[in-house]
Structure 1
Amino acid sequence: MSENILEEIFIKRSQQKKKTSPLNYKERWFVLTQEKIAYYDFDPDKKKRKGLRGSVDLEKIKCVETVQPEPNTPRERMYAFQIIYDEGPLYIFAKNEDVRAQWIKKLKEVSFNKDLMQKYHPCFWADGLWLCCQQEVKQAMGCKVLDGKNEKTIWPLPPQPPESSGPSVGMAVIAEYNYKPMTAQDLELIKDEQYTILEMSDTNWWRARDKYKEGYIPSNYVVAAESELERFWYSKNTNRSQAEKLLRTENKDGGFLVRDSSKAGKYTVSLFSKGGESGGSCRHYNICTTAQGQFYLAEKHPFTTIPELINYHQHNAAMVSRLKYIVSNRARPPSTAGLGYVWEIDPRDLTFIKELGTGQFGVVKYGKWQGQHDVAIKMIREGSMSEDDFIEEAKIMKLRHENLVQLYGVCTKTRPIYIVTEFLSNGCLLTYLREGLKQHPTTVQLLEMCKDVSEGMTYLESKQFIHRDLAARNCLVDGNGTVKVTDFGLSYVLDDEYTSSAGSKFPVRWSPPEVLLYCKFSSKSDIWAYVLMWEVYSLGRLPYERLNNTEIVEQVSRGLRLYRPQLANEKVYSIMTSCWLE
């Protein structure tokens, strides 16, 4: 189990009762760990804690502050403090000022939440109103700004990832995956073998040398030889739900991996245990840092590097289990930017197997390249785009990101033109939302889908691309449930007003007022198109489903916005509405 940081018997006030009375105040045994603060029943005679009554995950805490006592408060309730999280305030009463100060200080040290409060209520919520400002809405914004010397919550910066210099010319690299040459210019990679980088002029394909020969290798198949973090138990680009899926599939007690945390610059250890719950459970532990920059999972055991920390916990159980088995997301190699060090693909190497659908520019088919590699092939209908512009545009479309559908190459020497891309087995996100989710999806799943799209779009914007038709229908889902954006880089479209895949001059239901009124596309209109988030949380419903295009143009321009889907909480909905500001 996670090591306890603090334990104390406190009085807790019930959050469920509408009216406060002496019956609302009960003693509970509070325990603070690196993951949560929990409270239990206890036996006062045997001084032994009993059943769990409730808990709050530390990553959900928005504010920890003192609370001013009410008039005529009994002595045992003079030293109150509050823990604010999504469900409201948790009121706790310490025995004295020193104990209260100790717990507030420690909670602020171990809690990380980027969605912190700017204001708080210094007095209690009691009998249907805030005693400090008399507001009658429990979710009302606080009335006191956290900016005084004694009130300001000082949240520590998240730990920075270990410094590592990436590969450079002349440096030795290690192959993480096997790679069979696809063209005469390629060099074979053998997993865990060492190679020397000779040239890095192409971001996606580096020229390298083994013991005998030279050739091109996919840059995302290798890591710097000294990068131990990258080589073994670190599962890059793995989110929480994907980690749990990997661990449950492996089904080994003590199976673990290290992944990027949802908090920038932090890492998380995801661990599977067969103890306790039927079928086993997944636990997630943030790797924290001390004031001196050391890393720890158990505060009493800090280490200079993360590899040292992992090595210690592989041999010592300070959590629900010892870290026994490395579980990796590297069973399948990532997509390469192109099928070998070529861009122009010979159409004779393509085999067409079945039709997947009809897109904006023509038929899309599933097929094979050289008889063995799965690909999607878009057959471009003549006259649907400026072909010369497309060929020029294709030269700068060699983008590679985990949340973009990988463009492998093009066939431009014959007509029709083909665009050859990565094939994603779960198909279109819109269909997946409506039909592919076999059971009721969790909010974590839905949020991860939105996160995937936003990371792909962030990368696109960093490369100065405007999508112009972001929507669930233009995203695809791979076999692991990862969502990837497709149909980007469309500056070669003939019509300046761009006929979207929805069939209108532009995607009206996903467009901001400046596009509806002036056809003005920009990265800001791509942000508005995060109507996609609404699609995800409504499980594929049509935005403004009761309105036609003309009515949408008129009413959105006047301020109409989409309602909150049932599966979206207020925080998620506030993110949506922030994308729809004029």
Structure 2
Amino acid sequence: MSARLLLEEMLIKRSQQKKRMSPLNYKERLFVLTQSQLTYYDGRRERKFRRGSIELSRIRCAEIVKNGGEIIPCQNKYPFQVVYDTNTLYVFAPSHDSRSLWVHSLKGEIKDNAVVSAKFHPQFWQEGAWLCCRQVEKQAPGCEEYNLFGDISRKPLPPIPGEEQSKNKKVTDDPTHTHTRAHTHTSVSSFFLLQQRRPPPPLPPEGDDDDKEEEEEVMVALYDFPGTEPHDLSLVKGGEYVILDKCDVNWYKARNQFSEEGYIPSNYITEKTSENLVQFVWYSKQVNRNKAEELLRKEDKEGAFIVRDSSTPGTYTVSLYAKSAPGEGGAAIKHYHIKESQGSPLHFYLAEKHLFSSIPELIEYHKHNAAGLVARLRYPVGKQDKSAPSTAGFSYEKWEINRSELTFMKELGSGQFGVVRLGKWRAQYRVAIKAIREGAMYEEDFIEEAKVMMRLSHPKLVQLYGVCSQQKPIYIVTEFMEHGCLLNFLRQRRGSFSLGSLLSICLDVSEGMEHLEANGFLHRDLASRNCLVNDSLVVKVSDFGMTRYVLDDQYTSSLGAKFPVKWSPPEVFNFCKYSSKSDVWSYGVLMWEVFTEGRMPFEQNQNHEVVTLVTRGHRLYRPKMASPAIYDIMQLSWLERPGDRPSFSQLCLMISDALEGETPPPN
């Protein structure tokens, strides 16, 4: 007879054995508590794959974790711990109530365990030390007394053979229960002597430890990667690689089938699981509705299709092109939301009569049967000949670039720091090279910051590859963007943009800024002139954080022409107070630039006049191409109080919703 189910919830688990912690060490797991085990699973509830299981009899402590101001790099901010054998499992709940319920339930189930601890560590074990007491031994005795919560009493510890009960020991009766509580009066030394006389706890069953499985995590290469340094490992598209260490968010150490080891870029690989859509040619993660329509029209084939993320996180849409759709009078693009059935087992469908246990099975079926769609899914579009993404630097921990390896080509333009040229690194990688004019910036401070900026890797941020800092002038080497700055791109193509194209530009920028916001990084000078456009018409945010290193006093003075007053909120031009919400204000002005196709904001006013107007509550007018709903988003970005403005994650959802309009499922 199976043990009774007590609790079941999606929580986040921290890796127990990794030496270095990063957001990649925090994984969502389905936790299930029964009267005999705490088990956690990978995957959906209906098709769960067991990652780990702990017998409740092995648990020594279940308690909340006092955070102590440490940053928690996952969305669940309420940690608790389960101490068993010689391990500590850290779990992160989504709310205070959720955490309390789990800790309360666990304590209730383990209250009679012979191995319950006398003391525990109230803060995290992190980077080789206990944060609470700074002890560096992982098995060091706890520094705070461990108690079961007040409404559950604990039986006294069994006496140690041959040891007389101390005459001075006090036994306190619990006024609400008949049991006595001797736990808090048992000496730590007696407790550990007792532990030594007991047989050691059983070893965990083979294969039940999540971290052992994660250490043998197998990934599939999405792109070729020719290693550029001796410590790199080259990747072959479609090849399988075992991950040895997740060094940081951008670079992993891996082993190939020939037992060769080295560093690989994390965005060039994906998990090898049947439910991971990234490995399929028909799935395009970074494609929104408007870009999907552009790609399908360009392909112009009956049955051309893309599977992409919907605006609702965790759901997917099939965008399908038909040359002659009923009732359309010509070619049409339909967007079908992939639905999930209610109850168990879980099924996916486009048409309710045709249910499938996985999305790949659904796609395979509709390749051969329209079954209510306007056409069969014939031609996957989007990934053929897709260029590989940028990497965070050319190799792991490589930020200094040898200038002899740079080839200079044509001049691209001139900015506040100096001349920008198109170039090549090692004669094969196209890059943009900024030569920093002497006296234009605080060079030493910037070089240190560049090491941090290189780690900010995202498809909607212009990638910094490294710097040449050993001699003057200093060079900044970045990703090359073929169409240059967004401002010129808008002005040169004025009159050719659809509403969807303009929204797509805004979404690209908001996604890049969302990544900066999530990493606590401020731009301080967000505007269309500081965004760039590549050959695939993807817009990326550039020059984030650079204004801090400018030596031009005019640029940071509200009286000077170079200060971006027209993009700045009142708290910046009045008090120089920057935050992610000041970047949100600038984003609203950038949206206005986009929907006016590159006009100058407040074009009839001088900077000092703009300061007066904005302080009095005046805002930019609604552009003709912006609907009232889109203008509402701009106005939310321009609210007087910074705390009232939306976050970039909220802006992403607003823009996505404006872009999306799902086609109902077929009958």
- Kindly indicate whether the alpha-carbon contact (under 8 Å) linking 2:602 and 2:610 is maintained by their aligned counterparts in 1: yes
Normalised TM-score (structure 2): 0.60
- Counterpart AA for 2:308: R
CA-CA distance at 1:450 after TM superposition:
0.6
- Kindly indicate whether the alpha-carbon contact (under 8 Å) linking 1:208 and 1:216 is maintained by their aligned counterparts in 2: yes
Matches within 5 A, 1:326-475: 326-329=380-383, 331-341=386-396, 342-397=398-453, 398-436=455-493, 440-475=496-531
Q: Determine whether 1:196 maps to 2:249.
A: no
- Kindly indicate whether the alpha-carbon contact (under 8 Å) linking 1:453 and 1:484 is maintained by their aligned counterparts in 2: yes
Equivalent position of 1:575 in the other structure: 633
Equivalent position of 2:333 in the other structure: 282
> Of residues 347, 352, 355 in structure 2, which corresponds to 1:294?
347
Matches within 5 A, 1:33-432: 168-212=214-258, 213-227=260-274, 228-232=276-280, 233-276=282-325, 280-292=331-343, 293-318=346-371, 319-329=373-383, 331-341=386-396, 342-397=398-453, 398-432=455-489
Q: Residues 418 and 496 (structure 1 numbering): CA distance in 2 closer, same or farther, change over 3 Å?
A: closer
Q: What do the CA deviations read for 1:243-277 (whole angstroms, capped 9, x no partner)?
A: 22322333332121211112333211011222246
Please list every run of 5 or more consecutive structure 2 residues that lacks an aligned counterpart in the other structure. Answer: 1-210, 641-667
Matches within 5 A, 1:541-580: 541-580=599-638
SS at match of 1:367: strand
Q: Determine whether 1:520 maps to 2:577.
A: yes
* C-alpha separation in 2, matches of 1:169 and 1:262: 33
* C-alpha separation in 2, matches of 1:206 and 1:266: 28
* C-alpha separation in 2, matches of 1:285 and 1:378: 45
* C-alpha separation in 2, matches of 1:247 and 1:576: 30
- Kindly indicate whether the alpha-carbon contact (under 8 Å) linking 2:439 and 2:551 is maintained by their aligned counterparts in 1: no
Q: What do the CA deviations read for 1:111-134 (whole angstroms, capped 9, x no partner)?
A: xxxxxxxxxxxxxxxxxxxxxxxx
- Counterpart AA for 1:321: A
Q: Determine whether 1:540 maps to 2:598.
A: yes
Q: Residues 278 and 372 (structure 1 numbering): CA distance in 2 closer, same or farther, change over 3 Å?
A: farther
- Counterpart AA for 1:527: V
CA-CA distance at 1:325 after TM superposition:
2.1
- Counterpart AA for 2:270: V
- Counterpart AA for 2:244: L
CA-CA distance at 1:563 after TM superposition:
0.3
CA-CA distance at 1:447 after TM superposition:
0.6
Q: Residues 279 and 389 (structure 1 numbering): CA distance in 2 closer, same or farther, change over 3 Å?
A: farther
Q: What do the CA deviations read for 1:345-383 (whole angstroms, capped 9, x no partner)?
A: 111111111111111211111111111211111111222
SS at match of 1:178: coil
CA-CA distance at 1:449 after TM superposition:
0.6
Q: Residues 460 and 507 (structure 1 numbering): CA distance in 2 closer, same or farther, change over 3 Å?
A: same
Equivalent position of 2:177 in the other structure: none
- Kindly indicate whether the alpha-carbon contact (under 8 Å) linking 1:393 and 1:491 is maintained by their aligned counterparts in 2: no
- Kindly indicate whether the alpha-carbon contact (under 8 Å) linking 1:208 and 1:217 is maintained by their aligned counterparts in 2: yes
- Counterpart AA for 1:176: L
- Kindly indicate whether the alpha-carbon contact (under 8 Å) linking 2:419 and 2:436 is maintained by their aligned counterparts in 1: yes
Equivalent position of 2:536 in the other structure: 480
* C-alpha separation in 2, matches of 1:499 and 1:419: 21
Q: Residues 469 and 492 (structure 1 numbering): CA distance in 2 closer, same or farther, change over 3 Å?
A: closer
Q: Residues 278 and 177 (structure 1 numbering): CA distance in 2 closer, same or farther, change over 3 Å?
A: farther
* C-alpha separation in 1, matches of 2:413 and 2:552: 25
* C-alpha separation in 2, matches of 1:168 and 1:369: 35
- Counterpart AA for 1:325: Y
- Counterpart AA for 2:549: V
- Kindly indicate whether the alpha-carbon contact (under 8 Å) linking 2:220 and 2:240 is maintained by their aligned counterparts in 1: yes
CA-CA distance at 1:238 after TM superposition:
1.0
CA-CA distance at 1:282 after TM superposition:
2.2
* C-alpha separation in 2, matches of 1:168 and 1:527: 38
Q: Residues 320 and 498 (structure 1 numbering): CA distance in 2 closer, same or farther, change over 3 Å?
A: farther
CA-CA distance at 1:231 after TM superposition:
0.6
* C-alpha separation in 2, matches of 1:221 and 1:193: 11
* C-alpha separation in 1, matches of 2:425 and 2:519: 28
- Kindly indicate whether the alpha-carbon contact (under 8 Å) linking 1:246 and 1:329 is maintained by their aligned counterparts in 2: no
What is the alpha-carbon root mean square deviation over aligned residues?
A: 2.2
Q: Residues 339 and 501 (structure 1 numbering): CA distance in 2 closer, same or farther, change over 3 Å?
A: farther
* C-alpha separation in 1, matches of 2:552 and 2:580: 16
- Kindly indicate whether the alpha-carbon contact (under 8 Å) linking 2:219 and 2:271 is maintained by their aligned counterparts in 1: yes
* C-alpha separation in 2, matches of 1:373 and 1:286: 39
Aligned residues: 416
SS at match of 2:549: coil
Q: Residues 301 and 507 (structure 1 numbering): CA distance in 2 closer, same or farther, change over 3 Å?
A: same
- Kindly indicate whether the alpha-carbon contact (under 8 Å) linking 1:497 and 1:519 is maintained by their aligned counterparts in 2: no
* C-alpha separation in 2, matches of 1:567 and 1:374: 36
Between the aligned residues of both structures, percent identity stands at 55
Q: What do the CA deviations read for 1:41-85 (whole angstroms, capped 9, x no partner)?
A: xxxxxxxxxxxxxxxxxxxxxxxxxxxxxxxxxxxxxxxxxxxxx
CA-CA distance at 1:326 after TM superposition:
2.1
CA-CA distance at 1:574 after TM superposition:
0.5
Which structure carries more helix by proportion?
A: 2
Equivalent position of 1:490 in the other structure: 546
- Counterpart AA for 2:323: K
Range with bigger deviation, 490-499 or 378-387 = 490-499
- Counterpart AA for 2:420: V
- Counterpart AA for 1:441: F
SS at match of 2:417: coil
Q: Residues 470 and 491 (structure 1 numbering): CA distance in 2 closer, same or farther, change over 3 Å?
A: closer
Higher alpha-carbon Rg: 2
- Kindly indicate whether the alpha-carbon contact (under 8 Å) linking 1:501 and 1:507 is maintained by their aligned counterparts in 2: no
* C-alpha separation in 2, matches of 1:314 and 1:395: 47
Normalised TM-score (structure 1): 0.68
SS at match of 2:324: coil
